[in-house]
Amino acid sequence: MAKSKLHFNSLTVHGGQKPDESTGAVMTPIFQTSTFAQTAPGQHKGFEYSRSQNPTRQALEKSIASLEGTEYGLAFGSGLAAIDAVLKMLAPGDQVVSTNDLYGGTYRLFTSQFQKFGLDFQFVDMQNPEEVEAALTERTKIIWVETPTNPMMRVIDIAAMAQLAQKVKALLVVDNTFATPYLQQPIGLGADIVMHSATKYLGGHSDLVLGTLAVKDAKVAQQLYAIQNSSGAVCGPMDAFLTLRGIKTLHLRMQRHCENGRAVAQYLRNHPQVDAVYWPGFEDQPGYPIAQRQMKDFGGMVSFRVKDDQLKTASKVVSALQVFTLAESLGGVESLAGHPASMTHAALPPEERAKNGITDGLIRLSVGIEDAQDLLADLEQALKF
């Protein structure tokens, strides 16, 4: 069977990869080289210089493209470097309409680095398509979606956003970091570019920082390859190799992340010290019908608010956890806990945080693949006060 026709779980293992032609090595080697020999000027085997092309990075780029259902993939030194490359397609005066609930670092990149070059960013509640439509102008070049959102787990209707993007001929970019292509494939729903912080679930082991793009259209992909080569924010071959290795078990890990995420969300919802729990799988949440339609399951990210919504209480809880580690990041095999207001979303102005529900009592969990009963017991002891 042609490898391009494989199903998802087979693509994680084989997508974009083949045994090394020179040695037969089954795993893509780590081509730790900056440059490649030429037999005469301009005569080479498709590789000249590792900023432009590197065989290990190329295998990863093909892998992520295959998982997202397209032909064009790119890998960068971090998720933010991938976002940076997308924004460099724009010109002064262009507008980006973005979800208002998004990773604090993405907000910081938009506002502190690109606003000064004349890009205009509008942050809207994307759960409400009418609000998005009202923000669109002929200057809108990108609609930027995160779904589920970081850290409030809001679900945004990708197909509805694709229709709006088409109306104004804007590109729809989806940050698919929280869902991964195992749960959600935005290109099939009308997105033009899918971005990942591969630092998270794709790598899966908290041992690297890397970003990827998967692109639907050849012309857009060519622009991005030119930016990647011109700006040079590429990942190294070792990190590309580790990401490829992580991707091979993405489907297995995601199944357990989803099971454990469900167990933790349901446990917290019934806990007397907990005020609210945010997880896309609750049937009474506004995003539930959309999540059911566009996601295969609901993922391993869960946020919750402690009853008194006080920093002191949230801080006590996250510091008392023993199986969960208090740390930034998410998507690794081990469970992590974070305090968005002071950690991942500290870059947002306090009024933006308040508008989005990122209060001092909010805690975000990245539920790992340990035994669920150990995770629940850990939460039980940390919430005892």
Q: CA-CA distance, 35 to 182, in Å (whole number)?
A: 35
Q: Pick from 98, 150, 180, 243: which binds ligand P1T (CB under 6 A)? A: 150
* Amino acid letter for position 188: G
Work out how close the CB of 100 gets to ligand P1T at its nearest, in angstroms, rounded to a whole number: 14
Q: Does 211 bind ligand P1T (CB under 6 A)?
A: yes
Q: Does 363 bind ligand P1T (CB under 6 A)?
A: no
Contact yes or no for 87/96 (Cβ under 8 A): yes
Q: Does 280 bind ligand P1T (CB under 6 A)?
A: no
Q: Pick from 140, 184, 197, 294: which binds ligand P1T (CB under 6 A)? A: 197
* E-state strands within the chain: 72-76, 95-99, 120-124, 140-146, 171-175, 193-197, 211-215, 274-278, 301-306, 325-326, 336-338, 362-366
Q: Pick from 68, 175, 239, 360: which binds ligand P1T (CB under 6 A)? A: 175
Work out how close the CB of 20 gets to ligand P1T at its nearest, in angstroms, rounded to a whole number: 28
Q: Does 101 bind ligand P1T (CB under 6 A)?
A: no
Written as six digits, the tokens of 163 are 């229709």
Catalytic: 175?
A: yes
Q: What are the CA-CA distances from residue 60 to residues 167, 229, 265 (Å)?
A: 33, 16, 33
What phi and psi, each to the nearest 5 degrees, are found at residue 186?
-60, -30
Work out how close the CB of 233 gets to ligand P1T at its nearest, in angstroms, rounded to a whole number: 10
Q: Does 127 bind ligand P1T (CB under 6 A)?
A: no
Neighbours of 338 (CB within 10 A): 24
Q: Does 371 bind ligand P1T (CB under 6 A)?
A: no
Closest residue by beta carbon to ligand P1T? 79
Q: CA-CA distance, 23 to 43, in Å (whole number)?
A: 22
Subset of 20-79 contacting ligand P1T (CB under 6 A): 78-79
Catalytic: 103?
A: yes
Question: How many amino acids of this chain bind ligand P1T (CB under 6 A)?
Answer: 19
The residues that bridge with 274 in the sheet, in sequence order, are 306
Instruction: Give the three-state DSSP class for 200.
Output: coil
User: Which positions touch ligand P1T (CB under 6 A)?
Assistant: 78-80, 103, 105-106, 146, 150, 175, 177, 197, 199, 209, 211, 328-330, 338, 344
* Active centre residues (catalytic): 51, 103, 175, 200
